[in-house]
């Protein structure tokens, strides 16, 4: 079996970063949830705007290391949880109780189809 192994230091470039930023408009402020934090590309761009905050999630342990560097720079505007995307409701209730959050449970969707 052949497998592609990427070097540890390989830089990741977020897809459509400028397009996403133009749609979510963080320059006006707000709290954003980055559900696939990874190397923090979207988060770092959002945090360039002083009125914005980010709650970031990623289950990969390596993301925790990257997040600690961002936390040093944006202490009160960046919150990272090393959790699964499926735990978003619980995390949002704790960290951002005033944000309206619409996330449907896959179990509820499956039951409706049956």
Q: How confident is the model at residue 7 (pLDDT cuts 50, 70, 90)?
A: low
Q: What is the pLDDT of residue 66?
A: 94
Q: What is the pLDDT of residue 109?
A: 45
User: Structural domain tally of the chain?
Assistant: 1
Mean pLDDT of the chain: 82
- The reply to whether 9 falls in a domain is no
Residue 107 pLDDT more than 80?
A: no
3-state secondary structure of 64: helix
- The reply to whether 98 falls in a domain is no
pTM: 0.75
Within 10 Å of residue 49's Cβ, how many Cβ atoms? 17
- Which residue from 39, 38, 83, 16 is spatially nearest to 24, judged by alpha carbons? 16
- The reply to whether 77 falls in a domain is yes
Task: Identify the CATH number of the domain in which residue 75 sits.
Answer: 3.40.50.150
Q: What is the pLDDT of residue 95?
A: 79
Residue 59 domain boundaries: 17-91
For 40-92, write each residue's pLDDT tens digit.
Answer: 999 999 999 999 999 999 999 999 999 999 999 999 999 999 999 889 888 87
Q: How confident is the model at residue 108 (pLDDT cuts 50, 70, 90)?
A: very low
Within 10 Å of residue 28's Cβ, how many Cβ atoms? 9
């Amino acid at each position: 079996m052949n497998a592609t192994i990427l070097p540890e230091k390989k830089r990741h470039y977020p897809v459509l970063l400028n397009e996403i930023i133009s749609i979510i408009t963080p320059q006006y402020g707000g709290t954003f949830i980055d559900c696939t934090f990874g190397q923090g590309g979207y988060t770092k761009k959002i945090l360039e705007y002083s009125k914005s905050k980010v709650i970031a999630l990623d289950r990969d342990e390596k993301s925790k290391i990257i997040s600690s560097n961002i936390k040093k720079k944006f202490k009160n505007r960046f919150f990272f949880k090393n959790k699964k995307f499926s735990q978003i409701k619980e995390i949002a209730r704790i960290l951002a109780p005033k944000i309206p959050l619409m996330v449907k449970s896959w179990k509820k969707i499956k039951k409706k189809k049956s």
